[in-house]
Amino acid sequence: MLEKFVDKYIKYQTERGLLLDEEVGIYRYGYMLLLETIINIVVSLIIGLVMKDVLSVLIFLLAFVPLRSYAGGYHADKVWKCILLSNFCVFIVLLLSRVIDSSNCGNVLMSIDVIVSIIIFLLAPVDSDKKILSNNERKVYRMIVLFILVIQFVFCLLLRDRAEIVTLSNIIVLISMIKVPDRDTSR
């Protein structure tokens, strides 16, 4: 459905001379990414409203999206799968953050976050099927990942009452970075 909407919009722009034929692929990708992002944010905010915790959703998105963008890893092959999986993660983080918050385990959580962050830094960036990085891109992405992790750590030190959300988002990023070997179906 999103593809049809984007294709109609690109056709409209092309017919009016706003896009050149050689630019269509780039714009199609960009529009799809933009719509997917908007849908994910809107659904995440709706989840936050329903669960009466929009601030936690915003913290999650601010922690998760930049790190996930540069750390790399798994990408769903369909837009609907991405939206479903992303917002399932938002829901789970909100649920778990309530449990963790009530258990008062801040020091353990910070230790877990440090370990997870180190592993993320050591693994990053991870190529996906759709994005293979050059050596230069790898170096730049790794430094950006380090910068993001440092900022997150400072945030966790300053706002300990919301640190569990950052830790949970980092755990999800780490899980997405783990490469699962392809199953051999020829047996």
In-domain check, residue 127: yes
In-domain check, residue 49: no
In-domain check, residue 119: yes
Structural domain of 143: 54-177
In-domain check, residue 95: yes
Which letter, b or e, does each residue of 144-181 get, where b requires 16 or more Cβ atoms within 10 Å of its Cβ? Answer: bbeebbeebbebbeeeeebbbbbbbbbbbbbebbeeee
Give the model's pLDDT for residue 135.
93
In-domain check, residue 6: no
Q: pLDDT tens digits for 35-93?
A: 999 999 999 999 999 999 999 999 999 999 999 999 998 888 888 898 999 999 999 99
Beta-ladder partners of 128:
131
83 HSE (CA, 13 A, CB side): 18
In-domain check, residue 146: yes
In-domain check, residue 81: yes
In-domain check, residue 48: no
Q: pLDDT tens digits for 119-151?
A: 999 999 998 777 788 999 999 999 999 999 999
pTM: 0.85
| Total of domains in the chain | 1
